[in-house]
């Protein structure tokens, strides 16, 4: 009964894997709904160079670091598109400081699309109106924001989150703001020390609201009111929650760049992987015989499942990401080797093929579990703490380990028990052993 159950499940799994493999091959078209995404080092992309205005920032290093984090979040929401975001300082020695932000986007060859990915994240500021502001505006109606308002140091970098709210009396949409602990303390000090003064809420250099401070606000919350429509309020909230920039940036240069490794390198890497895979399958079949053939089928199913998951997330495959995937293939084979060697030991003790297989899987499981958990922990730490350049490696490694555990334990086990013979004979024991003979 058990063999029949395993046989039916095996047939269903084979049909499913063949179908997935068929659609995987058919899906490699330019207009595919779920195409593979490759990194900048393999297929090129777009480089954007932004100039940051740090003239009004005291701690430039922290501001540029915060700017880098915000931009990286915007273009790498899922942590797997592997953009390269970095900052640099030019002209520092000559005294003319020029702080720059460099963004490289893999696979994006349309400059306008690349700029849209960065977006126009709003610059949010809270400024106090100068005492002589009316006179300044009367003398110069075209006076700038800096002429009329003085900086308080409270900007969007202290923003925790924004929400759409509605005035309880007029039902007019407005934007509610909540600051982090540092921002809440600063906002409390500003409103405490400047009662009766005008505190303007300025977004991208435009005064949205200029309320008078009536009382101290100590809970770190504020509202942006104005002539918003509901859609405008939602759009503003969305942009603010993406991350308000700590300093203004302007695009100074953009270019489409070629791949550093190129299509030829990608094709060579794929060809090398195919040759290595074929060599591995030949070794498994020659050394482990019938279980080796089953392991090869399970390995093919592992590759198919992994590639489908990479397409659906989608994971941007760079040279490092491909290395993580290939490494996980080796770990998948390692699990099968442990199982087969344990099975061989049980066969040497004189157990039947069925019992030897059952015991082999049971005894190998602890070693497979411990080694894979350590690899998963490593992948999680790399993904959590690593830069975007290593996130792809960590993700492909982690996903590969999880999928390999499924194929090595569940798929291989199901296939082997489906073909495990009821009786023993010299030929049957030879087919389920390994090496050249059983001692």
- Alpha-carbon distance of 156 to 66, in angstroms, equals 11
* pLDDT at residue 148, rounded to an integer: 92
Contact 50/100 with Cβ under 8 angstroms? yes
How many Å apart are CA 203 and CA 224, to the nearest integer?
Answer: 10
Burial of 380-412, coded b for 16+ CB within 10 Å and e otherwise, reads: eebbeeeebebbbbbbbbbbbbbbbbebbbebb
Q: Candidates 3.30.930.10, 1.10.3720.10, 3.40.50.150, 3.30.70.3400; correct CATH number of 45-120+246-257?
A: 3.30.70.3400
Most confident of 10-24, 68-82, 140-154, 214-228: 140-154
Residue 16 has pLDDT above 70, yes or no: yes
Most confident of 16-20, 50-54, 114-118, 347-351: 50-54
For residue 415, is the peptide bond before it cis, meaning its omega torsion is within 30 degrees of 0? no
H runs (alpha helix) in 244-352: 262-312, 319-348
Which CATH number is 122-244's, of 3.30.1360.200, 3.40.50.300, 1.10.10.60, 3.10.105.10?
3.30.1360.200
* Per-residue pLDDT, 77: 53
| 252-302 tens-digit pLDDT | 888 776 665 566 666 776 777 788 788 888 888 888 888 888 888 888 888
Q: What is the CATH number of domain 2-39+262-431?
A: 1.20.1640.10
What local confidence, expressed as pLDDT, does residue 192 receive? Answer: 92
Any idea where the domains of the chain sit in the sequence?
2-39+262-431, 45-120+246-257, 122-244
pLDDT confidence of residue 405: 82
What would the mean pLDDT of 337-359 be, rounded to a whole number? 83
Query: Average pLDDT of 202-219?
Result: 82
> Given a cut of 60, is residue 236 above it in pLDDT?
yes
């Amino acid at each position: 009964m058990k063999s029949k159950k395993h046989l039916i499940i095996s047939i269903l799994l084979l049909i499913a894997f063949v179908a997935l493999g068929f659609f995987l091959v058919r899906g490699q078209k330019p207009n595919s709904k779920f195409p593979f995404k490759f990194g900048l080092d393999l297929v090129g992309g777009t480089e954007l160079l932004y100039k940051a205005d740090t003239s009004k920032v005291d701690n430039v290093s922290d501001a540029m670091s915060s700017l880098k984090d915000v931009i990286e979040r915007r273009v790498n929401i899922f942590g797997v598109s592997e953009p390269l975001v970095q900052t640099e300082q030019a002209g520092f020695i000559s005294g003319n400081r020029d702080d720059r932000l460099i963004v490289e986007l893999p696979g994006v060859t349309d400059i306008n699309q690349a700029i849209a990915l960065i977006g126009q994240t709003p610059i949010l500021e809270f400024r106090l109106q100068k005492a002589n502001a009316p006179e300044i505006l009367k003398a110069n109606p075209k006076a700038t924001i800096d002429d009329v308002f003085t900086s308080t140091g409270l900007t969007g970098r202290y923003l925790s989150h924004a929400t759409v709210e509605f005035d309880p009396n007029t039902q007019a949409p407005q934007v509610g703001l909540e600051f982090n602990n540092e921002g809440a303390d600063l906002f409390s000090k500003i409103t405490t020390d400047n009662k009766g003064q005008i505190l303007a809420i300025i977004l991208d250099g435009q005064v949205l609201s200029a309320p008078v401070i009536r009382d101290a606000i100590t809970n770190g919350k504020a509202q942006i009111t104005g002539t918003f429509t509901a859609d405008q309020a939602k759009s503003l909230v969305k942009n603010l929650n993406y991350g308000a920039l700590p300093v203004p940036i302007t695009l100074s240069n953009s270019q489409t760049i070629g791949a550093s490794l190129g299509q030829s390198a990608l094709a060579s890497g794929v060809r090398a992987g195919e040759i290595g895979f074929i060599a591995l399958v030949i070794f498994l079949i020659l050394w482990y015989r019938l279980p080796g053939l089953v392991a090869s089928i399970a390995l093919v199913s592992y590759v198919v499942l992994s590639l489908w998951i990479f397409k659906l997330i989608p994971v941007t495959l760079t040279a490092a990401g491909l290395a993580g995937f290939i490494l996980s293939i080796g770990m998948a084979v390692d699990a099968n080797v442990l199982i087969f060697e344990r099975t061989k030991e049980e066969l040497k003790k004189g157990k039947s093929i069925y019992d030897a297989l059952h015991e082999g899987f049971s005894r190998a499981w602890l070693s497979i579990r411990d080694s894979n958990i350590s690899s998963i922990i490593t992948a999680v730490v790399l993904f959590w703490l690593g830069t975007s350049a290593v996130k792809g490696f960590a993700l492909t490694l982690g996903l590969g380990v999880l999928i390999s555990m499924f194929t090595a334990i569940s798929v291989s086990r199901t296939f082997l028990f489906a073909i495990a013979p009821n009786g023993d004979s010299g030929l049957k024991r030879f087919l389920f052993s390994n090496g050249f003979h059983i001692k």
